[in-house]
Structure 1
């Protein structure tokens, strides 16, 4: 396979406001906050609020401090699994850029349904710092592939190790939902990577078929299909070149992805220790893997509503009722709220700088 000629190392002049749409962010943040507050409030009222407030005085803050250290590890691992590729493609890019790209990804993933804005946010941070779009997209695609491989395998191992009597009849439904979505996306990823011509031709046929129905949009549909076909081939070739030049990077990405998610899962166990709950580590990890399946492609911003509901339902089997609201709040804070706040600062600061630069 011939290597792709690299583009010049210069920032791409793209408007941040087109990527970080103000209306989308405000609307997503509003619904994310509203649904989250409503569901956590429901958990509080359902589980004896008086006892819950009394339980706050018994939190061991040394474990909460450990959680903040694990949060830093989470953010660093997330940025590092991108940076192992970026440092090969664009050596001048610092790890700080990858850190900002990662937290921007987490923020936009939190305020858009099914993480829809996460990828574009990450790609924009890189392109605005001089990484060619095609390289930024390829890195995002490859790491998405690592996640799509890790999550189903983790789910399979979890169900083997899990005591299913602890979570009742929800397990089969959650597994079908999670494995179904991940299987579809994994197949799409594999087809786009190994058989891009098949995917491209499929898109063309669908677009041409729609053009026969919507005649007035024929030209736009045909142009979109042709551009998509060329883009798929280009991205596939770029990914192949990256993996061919650096064959050890993808296995390393899988290792980092595993460490990243295991750190997230173990963090919840530390939260429980801080609340005085001596839960089984394997059960905690297994339950969270199932929850991750449910909320990863949830239609609400950041999986809000879905996450709180399933945390209360599944962890309610091992966490005392009075502690459940506190655990739910702390779990969501460390895994999503705090990283999203860091990402919000990065995104808003970027938008402010671009506004100042304009005459």
Structure 2
């Protein structure tokens, strides 16, 4: 019990410190003038988009579970979604998010093996969508990475997306297993065992992806719409601050930022998310407003779902259970 309160206290202090530093180092004399122009409707619109994004996240999980010949209700799927936000924000590298999803899926009656595969597929679909969007983003947003040529960025992102899709297809054959055996034959037993265990999970995920293509395509579309709704919170906030923005440029940069956050080592990407936001949008916004926008985005899209996830986790598993997980 004490451990979870300590972890929550550290997290709250970290969030407050990061938010305070972001605002402190980006605020200037122009900040108040733009805050006065802030439109309250934009907050309501941002919350509405958040609700749509989370609801679609829940429905895609329901349909994904159905493909695996299991069933969960929309309410149970929403608990998985919010539980993911809660433990992801408490653990380095957001590793706890996957644990939370497994916990709630098992609670809903999904066997552990299938739950593991579903968590992998859910993540893969999101990453594949973002990677498929990258060539288009790099093609039209030439100022995103000005030190790298547009041709190189488009080609690199296309290669990464194709490699992932090809690896999913290739996992249905024995070729990858053969290559893994050759590549890991000099590894220690435990390390080799862990690699093959992860590969078997990936292979099961690939089989699920290719089991019902039309159903998976539906889940993929739901994944895309869910992410687009969540990312659209940012341009809505910009408009609410009286700023004229290019909507698809903002969405493109949010996609790039969120790909990077999948690999962030800090709990829930704290610090890296705000810093990346400032780097990507500092030139879009008037002086003194980017820090306020970064903090508002994190509060709406991350911290509100985190609080709801805390409620559901305590309600379903109890405080003692969470303490053991942390």
Task: Judge same fold: TM > 0.5, yes or no.
Answer: yes
- Cα distance, 1:111–1:183 mapped onto 2, change above 3 Å: farther
Which residue does the alignment assign to 1:236?
Answer: 203
Match of 1:266 in 2: 232
User: Structure 2 vs 1, CA of residues 283 and 209 (structure 1 numbering), >3 Å: closer, same or farther?
Assistant: closer
Measure the CA separation in 2 of the matches of 1:68 and 1:98.
20
Question: Which residue in the other structure is 1:9 paired with?
Answer: none
| Equivalences, count | 317
Offset at residue 344 of structure 1 (A): 1.6
Give the structure 1 partner of residue 46 of structure 2: 67
Aligned equivalents of 1:88 and 1:126: distance in 2? 14
Aligned to 1:295: 261
**Which is worse superposed, 137-146 or 266-275?**
137-146
- The SS at the match of 1:151 is helix
Relative distance call for 1:48 and 1:133 in structure 2 (3 A) is closer
Q: Which has the larger radius of gyration?
A: 1
Q: 1:319 to 1:93 in 2, by over 3 A?
A: same
> What is the correspondence of 1:136-215 to structure 2 with a 5 Å cutoff?
136-164=115-143, 168-169=146-147, 186=164, 190=168, 193-195=171-173, 198-199=176-177, 202=180, 206=184, 209-211=187-189
Q: 1:344 to 1:69 in 2, by over 3 A?
A: same
Which stretches of structure 1, 4 residues or longer, exceed 6 Å deviation after superposition? 182-185
Residue 62 of structure 2 corresponds to residue 96 of structure 1: no
- State the superposition RMSD in angstroms: 3.6
Contact 1:32 1:304 in 2 (8 A): no
CA contact (8 A) 1:162 1:282 kept: no
Taking the TM superposition and a 5 Å limit, the aligned residue runs for 1:309-328 are 309-328=275-294
Q: Aligned pair in 2 of structure 1 residues 197, 76: CA closer, same or farther (>3 Å)? A: same
In the alignment, what sits opposite 1:348? Answer: 314
Which residue number in structure 1 is paired with residue 324 of structure 2? none
1:254 aligned to 2:220? yes
TM-score w.r.t. length of structure 1: 0.75
Q: Which has the higher contact order (CA 8 A, sep 6+)?
A: 2
Any gaps of 5 or more consecutive residues in structure 1?
1-20, 212-220
CA deviation after TM superposition for structure 1 residue 186, in Å = 3.6
- What is the distance in 2 between the residues matched to 1:116 and 1:334? 21
Matched, 1:85 2:64: yes
Deviations 1:223-274 (A, max 9, x none): x82x874785477357526743x33121112211211121122221111111
In structure 2, do the counterparts of structure 1 residues 188 and 80 end up closer, same or farther at CA, with 3 Å as the change threshold? Answer: same
In the aligned structure 2, how far is the partner of 1:22 from the partner of 1:168? Answer: 49
Distance 1:46 1:145, change over 3 A: closer
- Aligned-residue offset at 1:321: 2.0
1:337 aligned residue (295, 303, 325): 303
Give me the whole-angstrom Cα distance separating, in 1, the residues matched to 2:319 and 2:275. Answer: 39
The CA deviation at 1:131 is: 1.2
Which deviations, in whole Å up to 9, do the C-alpha atoms of 1:157-197 show, x marking residues without a partner? 11111141x7654999xx79x969x7799489638843567
